Structure formats: C-alpha cells, structure tokens
Amino acid sequence: MSEKVLVTGGAGFIGSHVAERYLAEGFDVTVLDDLSSGRRENVPDGAAFVQADVGSAAARELMADGGFSILNHHAAQMDVRVSVEDPALDARTNLLGLLNLLEGGRAGALRRVVFASSGGVVYGESDDLPHPETAPKLPVSPYGVSKLASEFYLAAYAQLHGLAAVSLRYANVFGPRQNPHGEAGVVAIFGSRLLRRQGLTIFGDGSQTRDYVYVGDVVNANLCATRWQVPPVATIDDVAVNVGTAAETSVTQLARALIDAAEVTVPIEHAAARPGELRRSAVSVDKAARIWGWRPEVTLAEGLRRTYEWIQEEAA
Ligand SMILES: NC(=O)c1ccc[n+]([C@@H]2O[C@H](COP(=O)([O-])OP(=O)(O)OC[C@H]3O[C@@H](n4cnc5c(N)ncnc54)[C@H](O)[C@@H]3O)[C@@H](O)[C@H]2O)c1
C-alpha cells in the first residue's frame, strides 16, 4: 500500500508542484486547502481534495482519521505586510493552524512533517551572506516570527512524541503558478507588467538583493526531506535545511533578466524605497549538498524563461 501524505496548501504555487511530484513517486496524496489564494485547478489529477481551513475541526479530524503518515505543510498566511497589519491573524493561521494539524496527527498515524519555512525571514539583516542554517535568527516581521516559532513547535513534538520533522528554509521561490503575494512575488508582478508592455517599477535604488530559487528545485528538496533519516534534535538548526542558490540577485538584475527572458523592451522606473524590507538576503546551500547531494539545477535565466512562458499561457 502507498504511503499517505497530506499536502496542505496544495492548491497553491509550491504545494501544487510538490503534490504532483508525490503522485509521480507513487504516494497516496490528499490536498487540503481553503482556496484563499490557491486555485482548485492547481490540484493535480490523482490527488484527493479537501477544502478546509488548517485551523478547522475538519482539518483536525482528517489528520486524526485519514491515515496520513506524512504531513507536507505548505498552507500559510504568507504576506509579510498582512502579518505586520494583523499579527494575530497571521498567528491564527500559521501557529494555531499548525498545532491543530499536529494534534490531529498525534491522534492518528502521523510520523513525519515536512514544513515550508523561510530563509528569507527567519535570519536577521546581516552582510555575512549567504546565511548558513546556524546564522543568528531575528525575524523583523510577525510572519517571520510565526515561521521560526513553528520550527520550535516541531522540535518540541520531535522530542515529546518522536515526530520526524524537517523545516525547509526556502529562499525566494519562483516559477509557474506563483502569485504576486509571495516572497518572490516580484517575478509575477514584473512578468504580468511585461506581458502588457508596461514599465517595471523598482522600489528604492534597485540594489537590494534576494536569492531566487526555481520551484522545480524546491520540489526536489521536498522529496529529499521526505526520505531523510532525521537526526536527533539538539537545536532547531539540526533539522532545518536551506533551499536556495546562495547567489544574490539585485532587483535591477532581476528586472533585466526578466526583460531578456520575455524578449520585450520596457522602461525601468524607480519609486521610494519601502520600509521594513531586508537590504540583502541569500542562503547557503552547503548543508543540502552535503546531506542530500541536492543542488539547484535550474539557472535564473532558464527559470525566468519557463515562468514567463507560463504567464503568457495563462493570459492566452
Ligand atoms: N513563495 C516563496 O518564495 C516562499 C518563500 C518562503 C516560504 N514560503 C512558504 O511556502 C508555502 C507556500 O507558499 P506559496 O508561495 O506556494 O504560496 P501560495 O499562496 O501559492 O500557497 C499557499 C496555499 O495555502 C492556502 N492557504 C492559505 N491559508 C490557508 C488556511 N488557513 N487553510 C488552508 N489553506 C490555506 C492557500 O489557498 C494557497 O493555496 C508557505 O508556507 C510560505 O510561507 C514561500
């Protein structure tokens, strides 16, 4: 019998790609998603679908009675600005939602959790880049705090209940099906403007950097995490693995690369910098290479080409 995995957020960007891959690998896949930002048509054929909030009684019962040995947790409130405006809403989805699923799973068959954390928000601002997993943690947003606190809850469940939990600290993930609200939302925003032949607006001087990783590479890391012989937890970093490219790309470089991928010419304009954004961000991927032999395989140029192609198909 195939192993049963519940993919939360599987109607969203990253979760739908992960669900697709689990199916291809022979897992029995159910997607749980409230469709708040996800789309029903993103759920791959062959996966069962349950529309519910992660914090609901239905989600908890599903975890308790559904026979899932693996929880792949991608559902989240993931808008940094929403978390600043309404930290309690962020905590309700991201912390109480996680605990609801874990408590359901504790009554059920749950053995392993793969959690979508964020290397873009758990580490503080520093010029000592790329950040290894052990870099100091100092989130500047409630969203970052909820990701970090989730990692601590998972570490506690590992100690209390023997749960094998892996936190994947994603850099800025981009690719087909991404929406404009995520941490690499700029790719979707620029892409749809290019499609309409509109100029690209850069906030600030454009030198702020991010680490852009293609969604297909992120999916590979999810598979590695699902099969990993998880070590004992002495610190949360023992069971956290960065998923990025270690390369910093400035917003200006990204805009130019996307213009190249789209093969259109539009002006680049500047607007006032937005407060509260990190200046620079990139994660080291040495650990993933060492423990899993994982490396990012898709270049930024190729990833942007595939993403722009998808944006065009969507619009057509
Ligand atoms: N995109 C990135 O660059 C990035 C970077 C770091 C971490 N992450 C994390 O990866 C995960 C997936 O992000 P994404 O970019 O695919 O975003 P997404 O918005 O496409 O996917 C999130 C999915 O979760 C669902 N969802 C939201 N709240 C829910 C709730 N209360 N109950 C049930 N379902 C709910 C949404 O409908 C959506 O389908 C998130 O946890 C996010 O924090 C993303």
Q: In which residue ranges of the chain is CATH 3.90.25.10 found?
A: 175-212+245-284+297-315
Provide the 3-class DSSP secondary structure of residue 247.
Answer: coil
Mean pLDDT of 299-305: 98
The reply to whether ligand 1 has any atom less than 6 angstroms from the CB of 182 is yes
- Interatomic CA distance for residues 150 and 172, integer angstroms: 19
- Interatomic CA distance for residues 216 and 306, integer angstroms: 11
Closest of 43, 17, 14 to residue 31, by C-alpha: 43
Q: In which residue ranges of the chain is CATH 3.40.50.720 found?
A: 4-172+213-243
- Interatomic CA distance for residues 225 and 164, integer angstroms: 10
Whole-model pTM: value is 0.97
In the chain the first and final C-alpha atoms are separated, in Å, by 41
The best mutation among 32, 33, 77 to test binding of ligand 1, ranked by most ligand atoms within 8 Å of the C-beta, falls on 33
User: How is domain 175-212+245-284+297-315 classified at the architecture level of CATH?
Assistant: Alpha-Beta Complex (3.90)
In this structure, whether the domain defined by 4-172+213-243 belongs to CATH 3.20.20.370 is answered with no
Mean pLDDT of 187-214: 95
pLDDT above 90 (res 185): no
Under the banding of pLDDT at 50, 70 and 90, the label for residue 278 is: confident
Per DSSP, 7 falls in state: E
Task: Provide the residue count of the chain.
Answer: 316
Provide the 3-class DSSP secondary structure of residue 36.
Answer: coil
CB 36, CB 195: distance < 8 Å:
no
- For the chain, the average pLDDT equals 96
CA of 17 to the centre of ligand 1 (A): 12
Closest of 68, 66, 67, 54 to residue 100, by C-alpha: 54
CA of 273 to the centre of ligand 1 (A): 26
Q: Quick: pLDDT tens for 50-91.
A: 999 999 999 999 999 999 999 999 999 999 889 999 999 999
